[in-house]
Amino acid sequence: MAEIWDAIYPYVSVLLPTITLALIFWWVMRSIVNADRREREAAAKGKELTDARFEDAVEKRMKEIESEMAAKNQK
């Protein structure tokens, strides 16, 4: 068993740091991509809410203007 370990150890000692760094890099990049995706989803939801409020406000104001114009036309 010692002979096998002596034959494998140089390769393991060279490859293990590279594999470890690759896994850390993958984990960091995955975290960044997931955070960006969640941020974009939250921004889209916020934009939908803002657009809905704006459309409601515009619709309400248009009704007010129409009622004011109707009141002026009746006079």
3-class state of residue 75 by DSSP:
coil
Residue 74: pLDDT band with limits 50, 70, 90:
confident
> Model pTM?
0.61
- Taking the C-alpha atoms of residue 53 and residue 12, their distance in angstroms, rounded to an integer, is 61
Task: Specify the higher pLDDT residue, 23 or 74.
Answer: 23
Tokens at 67, concatenated: 């009622």
Mean pLDDT value across residues 13-41? 97
| Domain locations along the chain | 23-74
Mean pLDDT value across residues 46-72? 90
pLDDT reading at 75 higher than 70: no
